[in-house]
């Protein structure tokens, strides 16, 4: 083979660097890769090999040069060219509107004010200095005037450009952003660290900060860090009129800007969005602690100026903290409809994120003792999204005289000896006649499968304690006169409730009735499959284990449990009584699979989708004839994976089942 001339080598190196850079950008900045990881690795390896042969041709911006700087003893202090300020906060609509009013007064003009809103990323602020488009320095915020030079570490983060993209690059630009660790990466890192028996990082923010301040940049490189950029500091050769244009400019020059930034024309819309984001934040794969609101026009920003390095043109809308400290008064036990003993915490009422919290879930004995919390202790409670509050752990040392928690030996409701089956985490009451099962089944029924308007947990508890309703058939035998005996019921409200109950008997589809009967391990997917497959309860009740196994997604163990449930005389009586009372035990048209372009295919949905809830995605797929299952097998046609997908994605990859992202799902639904 003829040796390549120096010119050929240079040309090939340029090509390779451009390609590697391009694919890094597609993957880490746009989140939209064009080639497989393996194809990328081949390009990168070739680049490395050519550079190793020609060390004289290696440049600082080559993608191979992100890692490998020698470990440093300490970080140099560096001065930011323009200071990095901080944000004044607002905590509610009232203070937000007051700020907008102040902005208007100070601007003293009829010109409209537009706002840009951005997620306030809970990571750490950094300042990237580019000269002639090349990254020459990266620093932490420090005290806002002086930070630490962490250039070698920042260079290892793939979403930090070493070189700006495009032409006509400015002589100077300070680019500001936030380095963070995605939640998925944080969980993986902690799992890895736990395996090594090392200390876990308490939260993603600390993990990101610790990773960025490593003396050895190869450790930083091994950490899943990313950056969102949100603004600029000093600049020379960049002429822009608004913050929105600034973000656009940054995006065009290869920086990763957050996709959720929005430009809004009124402060009312801003307020609305801030409220929405308090709920939506749980869907993100990174933590945000508020929304940053900025006056868009740079001219208006200049007029407004700053006070004590806090710009008057920006505010951080911060939500009430999602954690609080309180006393764990008691660990109570609730016996579920399957007999499981569920411990829960009775707390001294405390405000968490604007809501009073007085109870929290606890999973089981092991979980309680692993968290090392005891009745009487001070504890930290946390509320995340819409979920039931949880106890994170103790707030300090144990209160004197407290003792570790032990599950009761006897069922608190019926006194039966509690059992803990091998390999299970839960303790159970084995008594099938235990009163708790009946009550919990009823509560679940009215709230879930039958979804009866105006009949909820409170009413079911009252009816139960009065002995008026002790079983599902009792509920459908209830009369208006019964309800009128209860405090708080009048003619109208009593007939409404009875009507709602009667209506539910006629309306609740067979599959939902099955779901509410408490057959072991029958969730909604299985209930639907059973309803579809057998068509009515007689065929289902008469089916053998072998026949039930034929239903897709049901294994021999579950099939046996289902067959056993239907062979029990009491359960047969229950079904008969409910049927006589008018409940539906035949599959209706809503259970019949729709014939459509996707008939014959099975999908599984995992993770959070942006444009739909999982239930909506399921319905949309079913409307096209697809089946939607809840576990991945070789027979699964595809797995739809949203943000933070779980083990189902791993399973799909392992089995070679195709994975669809949200865009692919939309395309599939459009046909
Ligand atoms: S703008 C003058 N935008 O919040 C300061 N900051 O208290 C302008 N942060 O130190 C900052 N996300 O670490 C801005 N989209 C965003 C942000 C953001 C997170 C952090 C940043 C800063 C702190 C301000």
Q: 109 and 51, same structural domain?
A: no
Residue 135 has pLDDT above 90, yes or no: yes
Q: pTM, whole model, 2 decimals?
A: 0.57
- With a 6 Å cutoff on the Cβ, whether 85 touches ligand 1 is yes
User: 28 CA to middle of ligand 1, Å?
Assistant: 22
Q: 283 and 161, same structural domain?
A: yes
- With a 6 Å cutoff on the Cβ, whether 33 touches ligand 1 is no
User: 291 CA to middle of ligand 1, Å?
Assistant: 10
Q: How many CA atoms lie within 13 A of 121 on its CB side?
A: 26
Question: Nearest residue CA, atom 21 of ligand 1?
Answer: 125
Which one of 33, 65, 97 terminates a domain? 65
CATH at 45: 1.10.287.610
612 three-state secondary structure: coil
- Quickly state the pLDDT bin for 385 (edges 50, 70, 90): very low
Mean pLDDT value across residues 533-556:
92
Q: Where are the beta strands (DSSP E) in 543-590?
A: none
Please report the pLDDT score of residue 578 as a whole number. Answer: 96
CATH at 192: 3.30.470.30
Which one of 318, 333, 367 terminates a domain? 318
Residue 2 has pLDDT above 60, yes or no: no
CB 408 within 8 A of CB 418: yes
* Angle formed at CA 582 by CA 578 and CA 585, multiple of 5 degrees: 65
Residue 105 has pLDDT above 50, yes or no: yes
- With a 6 Å cutoff on the Cβ, whether 121 touches ligand 1 is yes
- With a 6 Å cutoff on the Cβ, whether 205 touches ligand 1 is no
Give which of 391, 388, 363 is closest to 379, Cα–Cα.
391
In a domain, 323, yes or no: no
Number of domains present in the structure of the chain: 3
- With a 6 Å cutoff on the Cβ, whether 178 touches ligand 1 is yes
Mean predicted lDDT score pLDDT of the chain: 90
Q: 288 and 156, same structural domain?
A: yes
Question: Nearest residue CA, atom 11 of ligand 1?
Answer: 86
Q: Provide the percentage of residues in the chain whose pLDDT is more than 90.
A: 59
Q: 120 and 44, same structural domain?
A: no
Question: Nearest residue CA, atom 6 of ligand 1?
Answer: 120
User: What are 653's two structure tokens?
Assistant: 């990859």
Give which of 81, 181, 189 is closest to 124, Cα–Cα.
181
Taking each helix axis from N to C end, the angle separating 6-24 and 37-53, rounded to the nearest 10 degrees, works out to 150
Please report the pLDDT score of residue 540 as a whole number. Answer: 96
User: 86 CA to middle of ligand 1, Å?
Assistant: 7
Domain of residue 629: give its range.
593-670
User: How many whole angstroms separate alpha carbon 558 and alpha carbon 550?
Assistant: 12
- Quickly state the pLDDT bin for 12 (edges 50, 70, 90): very high
* Angle formed at CA 527 by CA 523 and CA 531, multiple of 5 degrees: 180
Q: 53 and 100, same structural domain?
A: no
Q: 50 and 144, same structural domain?
A: no
- Which residues lie across from 292 on neighbouring strands? 118, 316
User: 120 CA to middle of ligand 1, Å?
Assistant: 6
Mutate to test the pocket of ligand 1, among 125, 141, 294, 316 (most ligand atoms within 8 A of CB): 125
The radius of gyration of the chain's CA atoms, rounded to the nearest angstrom, is 31
Q: 259 and 167, same structural domain?
A: yes
CATH at 652: 3.40.50.10190
In a domain, 182, yes or no: yes
Q: 168 and 280, same structural domain?
A: yes
- Quickly state the pLDDT bin for 363 (edges 50, 70, 90): confident
Lowest mean pLDDT among 368-377, 512-521, 572-581, 640-649: 640-649
Mean pLDDT value across residues 619-643:
85
In a domain, 335, yes or no: no
Mean pLDDT value across residues 12-30:
94
Answer yes or no: 120 catalytic.
yes
Indicate which residue of 98, 120, 619, 651 is catalytic. Answer: 120
User: What are 498's two structure tokens?
Assistant: 């009875």
In a domain, 453, yes or no: no
User: How many whole angstroms separate alpha carbon 10 and alpha carbon 332?
Assistant: 73
Residue 570 has pLDDT above 70, yes or no: yes
Q: 114 and 178, same structural domain?
A: yes
In a domain, 550, yes or no: no
User: 89 CA to middle of ligand 1, Å?
Assistant: 11
User: 608 CA to middle of ligand 1, Å?
Assistant: 26
- With a 6 Å cutoff on the Cβ, whether 609 touches ligand 1 is no
User: 87 CA to middle of ligand 1, Å?
Assistant: 7
Looking only at the bridges linking them, the beta strands covering 659-660 and 172-180 are unpaired
Which one of 318, 340, 374 terminates a domain? 318
Question: Nearest residue CA, atom 12 of ligand 1?
Answer: 120
Q: 247 and 130, same structural domain?
A: yes
- With a 6 Å cutoff on the Cβ, whether 120 touches ligand 1 is yes
- With a 6 Å cutoff on the Cβ, whether 87 touches ligand 1 is yes
In a domain, 121, yes or no: yes
Give the atom of ligand 1 at the shortest distance from the alpha carbon of 119.
15
325-340 residue pLDDT tens = 999 999 999 888 888 8
Please report the pLDDT score of residue 13 as a whole number. Answer: 94
Phi, psi of 647 (to 5 degrees): -70, -15
Please report the pLDDT score of residue 243 as a whole number. Answer: 98
Please report the pLDDT score of residue 200 as a whole number. Answer: 65
- With a 6 Å cutoff on the Cβ, whether 435 touches ligand 1 is no
In a domain, 424, yes or no: no
Residue 206 has pLDDT above 90, yes or no: no
Q: 183 and 55, same structural domain?
A: no
- With a 6 Å cutoff on the Cβ, whether 141 touches ligand 1 is yes
User: 230 CA to middle of ligand 1, Å?
Assistant: 8
- Buried residues in 357-386 as b, exposed as e (16+ CB within 10 A): beebebebbeebeebebbbebbbbbbbeee
Please report the pLDDT score of residue 528 as a whole number. Answer: 87
Lowest mean pLDDT among 372-381, 400-409, 473-482, 593-602: 593-602
Q: 197 and 59, same structural domain?
A: no
Lowest mean pLDDT among 5-9, 20-24, 416-420, 544-548: 5-9
CB 529 within 8 A of CB 628: no
In a domain, 110, yes or no: yes
CB 584 within 8 A of CB 510: yes
Residue 1 has pLDDT above 50, yes or no: no
Lowest mean pLDDT among 52-56, 227-231, 449-453, 576-580: 449-453
- With a 6 Å cutoff on the Cβ, whether 209 touches ligand 1 is no
């Amino acid at each position: 083979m003829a040796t390549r001339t120096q010119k050929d080598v240079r040309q090939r190196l340029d090509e390779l660097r451009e390609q590697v850079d391009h694919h890094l950008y597609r993957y880490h900045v746009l989140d939209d890769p064009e080639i497989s990881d393996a194809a990328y690795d081949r390009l990168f390896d070739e680049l490395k090999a050519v550079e190793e042969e020609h060390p004289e041709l290696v440049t600082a911006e080559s993608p191979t040069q992100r890692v490998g700087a020698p470990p440093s003893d300490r970080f140099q202090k560096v001065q930011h060219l323009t200071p990095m300020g901080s944000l004044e906060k607002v905590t509610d609509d009232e203070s937000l509107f007051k700020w907008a009013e102040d902005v208007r007064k100070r601007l003293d003009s009829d010109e409209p004010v537009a706002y840009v809103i951005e997620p306030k990323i809970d990571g750490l602020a950094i300042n990237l200095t580019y000269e002639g488009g090349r990254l020459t320095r990266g620093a932490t915020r420090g005290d806002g005037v002086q930070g630490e030079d962490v250039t070698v570490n920042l260079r290892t983060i793939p979403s930090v450009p070493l070189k700006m993209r495009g032409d006509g690059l400015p002589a100077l630009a300070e680019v500001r952003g936030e380095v963070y660790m995605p939640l998925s990466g944080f969980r993986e890192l902690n799992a890895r660290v736990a395996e090594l028996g090392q200390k876990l990082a308490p939260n993603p923010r600390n993990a990101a900060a610790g990773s960025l301040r490593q003396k050895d940049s190869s450790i930083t490189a091994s950490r899943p860090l990313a950056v969102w950029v949100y603004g600029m500091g000093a600049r020379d050769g960049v002429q822009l009129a608004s913050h929105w244009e600034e973000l656009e400019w940054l995006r065009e020059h290869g920086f990763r800007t957050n996709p959720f930034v929005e430009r809004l024309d009124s402060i009312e819309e801003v307020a609305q969005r801030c409220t929405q984001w308090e709920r939506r934040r749980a869907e993100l794969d990174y933590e945000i602690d508020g929304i940053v609101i900025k006056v868009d026009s740079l001219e208006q920003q200049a007029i407004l100026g700053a006070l004590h390095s806090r710009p008057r043109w920006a505010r951080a809308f911060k939500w009430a903290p999602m954690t609080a400290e309180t006393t764990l008064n008691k660990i109570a036990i609730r016996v579920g409809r399957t007999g499981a003993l569920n411990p829960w915490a009775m707390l001294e009422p405390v405000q968490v994120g604007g809501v009073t919290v007085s109870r929290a879930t606890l999973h089981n004995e092991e979980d309680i003792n692993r968290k090392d919390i005891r009745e009487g202790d001070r504890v930290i409670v946390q509320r995340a999204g819409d979920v039931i509050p949880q106890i994170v752990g103790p707030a300090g040392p144990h209160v004197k005289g407290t003792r570790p928690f032990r599950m009761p030996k006897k069922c608190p409701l019926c006194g039966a000896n509690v059992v803990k089956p091998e390999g299970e985490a839960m303790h159970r009451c084995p008594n099938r006649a235990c009163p708790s099962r009946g009550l919990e089944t009823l509560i679940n029924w009215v709230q879930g499968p039958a979804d009866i308007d105006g009949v909820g947990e409170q009413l079911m508890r009252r009816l139960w304690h009065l002995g008026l309703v002790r079983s599902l058939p009792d509920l459908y035998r209830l009369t208006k006169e019964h309800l009128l005996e209860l405090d708080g019921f009048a003619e109208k409200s009593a007939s409404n409730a009875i009507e709602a109950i009667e209506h539910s008997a006629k309306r609740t589809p067979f599959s939902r009735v099955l779901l509410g009967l408490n057959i072991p391990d029958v969730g909604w997917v299985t209930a639907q499959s059973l309803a579809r497959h057998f068509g009515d309860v007689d065929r289902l009740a008469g089916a053998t284990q072998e026949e039930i196994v034929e239903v897709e997604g049901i294994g021999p163990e579950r099939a046996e449990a289902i067959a056993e449930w239907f062979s029990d005389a009491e359960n047969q009586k229950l079904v008969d009584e409910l049927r006589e009372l008018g409940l539906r035990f035949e599959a209706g048209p809503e259970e019949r699979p729709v014939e459509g372009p996707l008939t014959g295919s099975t999908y599984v949905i995992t993770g959070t989708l942006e444009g739909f809830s999982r239930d909506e995605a399921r319905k949309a797929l079913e409307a096209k004839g697809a089946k939607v299952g809840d576990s991945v097998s070789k027979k699964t046609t595809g797995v739809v994976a949203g943000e933070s997908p779980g083990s189902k994605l791993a399973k799909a990859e392992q089995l070679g089942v195709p994975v669809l992202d949200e865009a692919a799902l939309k395309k599939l639904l459009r046909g």
